[in-house]
């Protein structure tokens, strides 16, 4: 299928004719898609349609799956991220990921955020590290809630706070792109709304790609939406157009609830 024309003037990441196979299963088929600077791209579609699989290609998380094979080209700032000399740890610092279930380390709040900058050598002195932790927690909208208990375990926080801690941890290594795989599906409505507000704020500094099963959420947080179906990218375009005037009948059927 050929998606509707969707030009991104300043893409941070670009995928060109990407296919993903798990053994004999063809999970993602011939996907070409850009992630724009200071934009949120929402990826929607029925369960098992390939959107999370595609998301994991963008920071090579599929490398951890023995049977996975990725073909095509994915670039970050024009550089192929699957080239042989690509340092995957460095790539994952530049393209961070926040998972469906909050995954704080079994360490203090401070150490959760300080871990990345420490291993990547981003802070030479303790005062630099303190400042990075402070700034990252502020950007993640968590500082006021935890500033007096930075030494307590990250796992002691509520689910919504844990997810914001994971976002702070991602921000701390100064990424260019933040990937989010259904980041609010395990949270209550109030915590989900906090994360949605945070996504809107973070867009000023990062490119964001989010997989969500919640179409209302996609409509609220994104500027562009991509609709996937059975491994195909059916349609991609400005969010308001995808939701009000989709070009493909498959997209319209999904958005209007005829299936999905």
Residue 28 has pLDDT above 60, yes or no: yes
Q: Let me know if 199 is exposed, middle or buried by CB neighbors in 10 A (0-12, 13-18, 19+).
A: buried
Please write the tens of the pLDDT for every residue from 40-52: 999 999 999 999 9
User: What domains can you pick out in the chain, each with its CATH number?
Assistant: 11-255 (3.40.50.300)
Determine contact, residues 50/228, Cβ cutoff 8 Å: yes
Predicted TM-score (pTM) of the model is: 0.94
For residue 258, name the pLDDT band (cuts at 50, 70, 90): confident
Q: Is the dihedral of CA 49, 50, 55, 61 positive or negative?
A: positive
- Helix (H/G/I), strand (E/B), else coil: 10: coil
Q: Strand locations in the chain, DSSP E? A: 11-22, 25-36, 40-44, 68-76, 79-80, 95-98, 177-181, 207-211, 224-229, 232-238
Please write the tens of the pLDDT for every residue from 122-161: 888 999 999 999 999 999 999 999 999 999 999 999 999 9
Determine contact, residues 104/166, Cβ cutoff 8 Å: yes
């Amino acid at each position: 299928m050929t998606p509707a024309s969707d030009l991104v003037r300043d893409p941070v990441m670009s995928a060109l004719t990407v296919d993903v196979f798990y053994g004999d299963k063809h999970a993602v088929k011939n996907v070409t898609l850009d992630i724009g600077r200071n934009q949120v791209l929402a990826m929607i579609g029925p369960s098992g349609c390939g959107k999370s699989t595609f998301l994991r290609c963008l920071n090579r998380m599929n490398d951890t799956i023995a049977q996975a094979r990725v073909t095509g080209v994915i670039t970050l700032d024009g550089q192929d991220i699957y080239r042989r000399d690509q340092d995957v740890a460095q790539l994952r610092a530049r393209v961070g990921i926040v998972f469906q279930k909050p995954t704080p380390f079994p360490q203090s709040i401070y150490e959760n955020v300080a871990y990345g900058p420490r291993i990547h050598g981003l802070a030479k002195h303790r005062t630099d590290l303190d400042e990075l932790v402070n700034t990252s927690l502020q950007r993640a909208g968590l500082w006021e809630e935890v500033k007096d208990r930075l030494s307590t375990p990250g796992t002691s926080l509520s689910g919504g706070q844990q997810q914001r801690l994971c976002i702070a941890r991602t921000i701390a290594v100064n990424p260019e792109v933040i990937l989010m795989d259904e980041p609010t599906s395990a949270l209550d409505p109030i915590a989900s709304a906090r994360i949605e507000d945070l996504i809107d704020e973070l867009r000023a500094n990062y490119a964001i790609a989010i997989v969500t099963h919640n179409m209302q959420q996609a409509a609220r947080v994104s500027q562009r939406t991509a609709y996937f179906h059975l491994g195909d990218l059916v349609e991609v375009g400005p969010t308001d157009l995808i939701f009000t005037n989709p070009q493909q009948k498959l997209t319209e059927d999904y958005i209007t609830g005829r299936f999905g």
